[in-house]
Every structure is written in structure tokens, then in C-alpha cells.
Amino acid sequence: MDRRMRLFLKNLAFTVLVPGTVAVFLPYWMIARSGRALAIDPVRLLLAGPPMLLGATIYFWCLWDFAVAGRGTPAPIDPPKYLVVRGLYRYVRNPMYASVLLVIAGWAALSGSVAVLGCGVVVAVAFHLFVILVEEPMLQRKFGKAYDAYRRTVPRWLPGSARTKP
């Protein structure tokens, strides 16, 4: 099996197991367990569709950049070999995490579930803690000065937030 096929399969497996579980299976399971039927009406679709579609689009765009530019996966056990600073990563350091939160917000809007919305808040806090306690120190060790410069000029979560010059 060639390198590109292995990389594709690793990215596919990660996508199904991690963001697929957090952004699709978990909210769906919470809604199903609540006993409420998932009423799909036009208003809820208009509220839920855009964040879900935007979240999925962002995720797959970033996944592509990780594979093509970074030559790796989003999985911490198989990270990119090169620092990815193209695409959406020019504007924010963590667009994949934001994409998962958008999909969860879509589920909350679609279902009207406060529990799913609360789950999204818990996931957001977990993402933030993982980023500051694990991911950023790991990227600092791996990419050194290049990551320092990137971190100084690209905000962690919100595009357009205050930036400093390197």
C-alpha cells in the first residue's frame, strides 16, 4: 500500500473515531436517549443547517491541509510532519476544533436540546484545556521558532482578534 493511501486511511479512521464520535454520534445518542422525536421542521433546519454544513466544510478543508501540506493527520499520535499555516490556519490556529463545535451547535439547534448545547460547552472547555496543556507544548517542542512566530501572529480561537508582530 502506498504512502498516500495509508495517509488517507489514517485520516479516515481518525475522522470517524474522534470528531465523528464527538460531533455526530454523541449528540445523536443524547437526542435519541431523551425520548424526544427529532422533529425536522423548516425553521430548525434553517437554524441547524448552516452551522452543520460550515462545520463539516471547515473540518474537511483542514483535514486536506493536514494531509497535503503537513503530511500527517490531526491525531496526536500521527501529527503532521510540517507545521500547517495555510488555508484557514492563516486566520486561526484551531479551526478543526471550531468545526466540531459548529456541528454540535447545529445538533442543538436541530433538536432544541439544552443537554446537547451543554455537551457542546463541555467539549469546548475540554478542547481549550487540551490545546493549552497538551497540543501547544507539543507543537512548541516539535516546531520551535516557527511555531513561536505562528503563535504570535495567528490567534488561537477567533479570527481577527489581537495579534502581535513577530
Span 73-91, pLDDT tens digits: 998 888 899 999 999 999 9
Span 3-38, pLDDT tens digits: 889 889 998 999 999 999 999 999 999 999 988 777
Fold category of 3-153 in CATH: Four Helix Bundle (Hemerythrin (Met), subunit A) (1.20.120)
Grid coordinates in use for 109?
439547534
Strands, E assignment, the chain: none
Please count the other Cβ atoms lying within 10 Å of the Cβ belonging to residue 85: 18
Helices and strands (H and E) in the chain: how many: 7, 0
Whether the model clears a pTM of 0.85, i.e. scores above it, the answer is: yes
- Look-up of cell digits 424526544: 36
Residue extents of the structural domains in the chain: 3-153
